[in-house]
Chains A and B, each alone.
Chain A
Amino acid sequence: MKSLDELKKIREQAKERMAVRGQEGQEYRVVVGMATCGIAAGARPVLNTFVQEVAKEHLPVTVMQTGCIGMCALEPIVEVFDKDNQKTTYVLIDEKKAKDIVLRHLMHGEVIDEYTVGHYSK
């Protein structure tokens, strides 16, 4: 080991790999519904898109799955919780929309109205 910079490089790589274990100081929690209908509707690639993007960008975000959210027709469903546990529910999400959510909501704090359940039910 010749320098702190060299050590930092190893730390960055390890942090990416260990990102799912980060718990403290997270800005957002992304929860993807993964019950039978969610999986059938394509929730798995959505979940994995979030995991890859969040790790790549080193975002302080926890990505997890959950069971039935209760709106099977609107799957894949993604819930984004902020620090104060305020929830935004996105519906009918695919990989592209997932990337949008990472970019706009998770990185810039913008709620994407047209993907939310509120917008859909209007």
Chain B
Amino acid sequence: MPYKRTQVLVCAGTGCTIGNSGALIEEFEKEIKSMGLDKEIEVLRTGCLGLCGAGPNISIYPDNIIYKGVKKEDVKEIVQEHLYKGRPVERLMLNESDQETNEIHDISHTRFYQKQQRVALHNCGIIDPENIEEYIGQDGYFALGKVLSQMTPQDVIDIIKESGLRGRGGGGFPTGMKWQFAYNEPGDEKYVICNADEGDPGAFMDRSILEGNPHSVIEAMVIAGYAIGAHYGYIYIRAEYPIAVERLKTAIAQAKELGLLGTNIFDSGFDFDLEIRLGAGAFVCGEETALIQSIEGERGMPVSKPPFPAHKGVWGKPTIINNVETYANIAQIILNGADWFRSIGTESSPGTKVFALGGKITNTGLVEVPMGTTLREVIYEIGGGCPNHKQFKAVQTGGPSGGCLTEEQLDTPIGFDELVKLGSMMGSGGMIVLDEDNCMVDVARFYMDFIVDESCGKCTPCRVGTKRMLELLEQICDGQGTMETLDELETLAKTIQDTALCGLGQSAPNPVLSTIHQFRDEYLAHIIDKRCPAGVCKKLLRYEINKDECRKCGLCARQCPVGAISGKIGKEAFEIDPEKCIRCGLCMKACHFKVIERK
């Protein structure tokens, strides 16, 4: 039978691959064969469906049913019940069904997907990323065909300008304008770079796009090359993304074979080729000037701007550098028009944004929403809120360059300018949810620790200054902080912002300033009361035995690894010596009468 009646798409994104979705593919093939269905049903791999936390996930067409958390043992049941008899296995289904009629709702009407709109992630989870024909089947490379056969370079730049597309790599710089600068430069040796460094801890938007829809980036880079007059491109990607790198290699090879990369594409006389450059995964190499250095084979250290890359970039030639997600929007804008793109999102931030939801959130994973959606909708309706009935405390956006937003700010519509106004930023799309168990001073310390590790060391404010900031934060966490420490922290932060050479240093103080601004109380609790309200900062924890309630059994003393507990069995209530105590918590677990408290 030439056409299959059913297709089983197994997620082969990094998240689900770690959950061993590879074994599911084999198991499905085996079971399908044993039921004699292999001529009717096909098993394929696809990209991220977004529900990575619940993975491995699979999707079944034409029924449009998603099964989550599928184990090898479940495969037989799915094949026998669903694929053979047409009865979906409800216990594994993401789809919700109607309480009364039992009718299974379409996947797009589930709480997780309802408010999402997939533009940059379109095709992810629907096509096989290792098959260029599936991409073409979804109108892939038709934007390139249109550009090369009907449009001048300036037409292309104009439509991108009109669309209002802004860079998704963090800064939000208007993409069309950037292309115009490079176009205006004379000469015909120019370059197109794709920034796939994605160094922000917790972020995996770009990786998922490259794994699930690699051709969208390749197609856009060729279009960009035509627009600015470049014939060569680099995709700079970290070596820690092996699946994405492999998919890209496959995609590039397939595009070359079909002549969608190479010489005289679409018989237009236009040539374009590209190569992958692997980065070692330093955060600073995501900064554009450092990235260019790295491509040239130098150490990845930033240089001062101007000159901007559009003027003097890689090999000293005009260069545009855009983020993966930025490119993933290009072909759609060309095919559907600037007005279509503007109809999504807000006036100042058109289109959608992909976020990697993580931290204390029920649905960890990848979501794409129109700009203007509120943080509350993303966190509660799509993300399902904090698990275990914990109280939401803050959401961190923008990673090590961003800041925290509080409960009161959750109704803010998402947009580049809106988030900056509140002292955070869009960043590349990491969104970490924090609950009552997170200490905000500790969060600031975490990001500063990351920065100290990642600072390239070229300029003093960042190399020395961030280290000093980290020390001050550690003092506060350890209960050694005073009000002067806090003042010093703020002064230092402002100095670094003003004097560091590159964006890494300039934005490094943001998480500290934002948490001081939003959660001053917590800083004061550490400094004045020597208390960590969330119970995270170990040195500030105190274990105390309630003397009146103690049954004098001595169990705790026996557990204590450092002999910090003294008393007389049956005679004298036991007591903890805070000087000796190393806050391991063993005594609290040991006490049957629950009379030991942590404060």
A residues neighboring B (CB under 8 Å): 1-4, 7, 10-11, 13-23, 32-36, 39, 44, 47-48, 50-52, 55-56, 62-67
Contact = CB atoms under 8 A, between A and B. Distances in A.
A52 B133 CA distance: 20
Contact of A20 (B4, B142, B260): B4
A34 B137 contact: no
B266 interface: yes
A23 B87 contact: no
Interface string B139-163: 1011001000100000000000000
Contact of A64 (B63, B85, B127, B136): B63
A33 B86 contact: yes
A55 B6 CA distance: 12
Contacts of B142: 4, 7, 11
B40 interface: yes
Contact of A35 (B40, B87, B267): B87
B136 A14 contact: yes
Nearest to A55: B3
B267 A21 contact: no
Given A1-B258, A13-B137, A34-B85, 8 more contacts: A1-B260, A7-B142, A17-B3, A21-B7, A48-B40, A51-B1, A63-B5, A63-B62
B267 A2 contact: yes
Question: From DSSP, what is the main secondary structure of chain B's interface residues?
Answer: loop
B306 interface: no
Contacts of A19: 3
B5 A51 contact: yes
Interface residues of B, number: 34
A1 B149 CA distance: 12
Nearest to A43: B86
A118 B50 CA distance: 45
B187 interface: no
B64 A23 contact: yes
A11 B142 CA distance: 10
B84 interface: yes
A16 B1 CA distance: 13
B378 interface: no
Contacts of B133: 10, 13-14, 17
B264 to A, nearest CB: 8
7 contacts: A10-B136, A11-B137, A13-B137, A17-B137, A34-B85, A50-B5, A64-B63
